[in-house]
Chains A and B, each alone.
Chain A
Amino acid sequence: MELVIDRWLHVLAGITWIGLLYYFNLVQAVALPKAKADNTAAGITKHIAPLALLWFRWAALATWLSGAYYLERSGIGLGNAFLLKGAAAPIGIGAWLGTIMLFNVWVLIWPNQKKVLGIVPADDATKAKGARVAFLASRTNTMLSIPMLFFMVAGPHGGHLF
């Protein structure tokens, strides 16, 4: 029962994280330049983006922690997964991709978005550079989410593809 609840939390947190990631990439990044052009961007940058980033970064951490707990307690083994050993290799690839994505969220996206959104002070050049770094890290995560989700569902606990 403990593992079912953990898997359940992992999927709930994962949907929150990746759902917001897709919102940022498919909706906000496309709409923001248009909103800036007609001076309606403040609603997004002041009210929506900070709240979306709050849920986004904590859901990312919750997803990783619940996933790591599952790997360790389910008998797969956290070490076996990250060392890509035998049957643990497919989920291990997913775990590695998820770990890189978590790094991108906390080290590249969030610190730079704080500058872009004015949560911490920054000059215009720093904001522009930060916006580019955060954008590319977010797009990288969107790209990585595609194989990450494939390997999450393709392991022995899923579709028996391997």
Chain B
Amino acid sequence: MKNPLDSIWGTIISGLVLTAILFVFVANFLVK
């Protein structure tokens, strides 16, 4: 599998996915 960080768009999409995951985590488990 190709490393997504080798391309700019792979990097940006990875950042957006990580943002969504962290948002769900913070909203549901850390901030009540």
Contacts and interface: CB of A to CB of B under 8 A. Distances in A.
B27 A162 contact: yes
Interface string A76-91: 0000000010110110
Q: How large is the interface on A (under 10, 10 to 19, 20 to 34, 35 or more residues)?
A: 20 to 34
Nearest to A139: B5
Contacts of B16: 146
Contact of A146 (B3, B6, B19, B27): B19
* B interface, over-half SS: helix
* A interface, over-half SS: helix
A144 B16 CA distance: 9
B9 to A, nearest CB: 11
Interface string A29-41: 0100000000000
